[in-house]
Amino acid sequence: PDGSEYTHPFNLVPSKRPRRQDWDGELYENGSFYISKRDLILTEGSTQGGKVAYFEMEPEHSVDIDVDIDWPVAEQRILRYGYFGRGVSLMFCKVSGCLTDGRIFLTASGEDMVSIHTKDTTGIRKLQKDDVEVLLLTSSEDPVAQLLADKLKKLTGCEVMQVGEDPLSDVLPVVKERNLDWKDVAYMGNDTADSSCLNLAGLSAAPADASSDAANAAK
């Protein structure tokens, strides 16, 4: 070509250029949250540095709208996939580790106590106002007594159901009974046993201290 401007690849060696079908691709930024320590800003004058993490979005939910031509693409994604999470009509939420923080308090009389955050119960009520049915899940291994389960039912208006070692086998009949697809279901869990449900659910989440299997399965 004329002139002195040439193209130089940054992510491959031209002599060893792979076929597109053999290339895993690469991540690109479509938005970010900068959460920085004070020392980083004061000492380096930067909001980026130290330990950097990323969250990989699914293609159907990762459209940047920067120029006019981006609008038709975004509109088609919404028509095809809907607003993320808007189609959910049923939510399963584990009690131990999700509504509670995993701590057990012991009273002087030897009773076990756990705490429930009021913001979580407020969030549940908001879901119910949007016609989302919320089912709370406990298991035989949960430090949640039947008395507390009854109180949760009264406090939130949610049914409390017990699941076994494989929660999927217990919640699947509920999904089928309501004639729902998994894309209509949300699931919040924190344990490795929840991974199958987290993978299947159209919308899933795990708390920050969840097991790595649960965190990786949540989307």
What does 2-46 look like in DSSP terms, one character per residue? -SS-----SSS-GGGPPPGGG-------S-------HHHHHHHS-
Check if CATH label 3.40.50.1000 holds for domain 90-217: yes
- Dump pLDDT digits (tens) for 57-92: 877 777 888 899 989 888 887 776 666 667 899 999
- Dump pLDDT digits (tens) for 18-64: 888 888 777 878 777 778 888 888 988 888 887 888 888 877 777 88
Pick 54 or 207 by higher pLDDT.
Answer: 207
Using alpha carbons only, how large is the chain's radius of gyration in Å?
23
201 Cα distance to chain centroid: 10
135, 158 Cβ separation under 8 angstroms = yes
Instruction: Give residue 85's pLDDT.
Output: 63
| 12, two tokens | 């491959």
Instruction: Give residue 150's pLDDT.
Output: 80
The pLDDT confidence band at residue 204, using thresholds 50, 70 and 90, is very high
Per mean pLDDT, which of 4-13, 115-124, 188-197 is the most reliable?
A: 188-197
Amino acid (1-letter code) at residue 121: T
The residue ranges of every structural domain in the chain are: 14-81, 90-217
> At which residue do the structure tokens 């691709």 appear?
25
Q: Which residues have CB under 8 Å from 192's CB, separation 6+?
A: 211, 213, 214
| 176, two tokens | 């089928």
Enumerate the active-site residues. Answer: 17
pTM for this structure? 0.62
Tell which residue, 152, 147, 201, has the closest CA to residue 172: 201
Instruction: Give residue 62's pLDDT.
Output: 79
> What does the alpha-carbon distance between residue 21 and residue 101 come to, in Å, rounded to a whole number?
45
Tell which residue, 159, 158, 140, 149, has the closest CA to residue 114: 149
* Helix residue ranges per DSSP H, the chain: 38-44, 70-81, 118-129, 146-156, 167-177, 195-200, 212-217
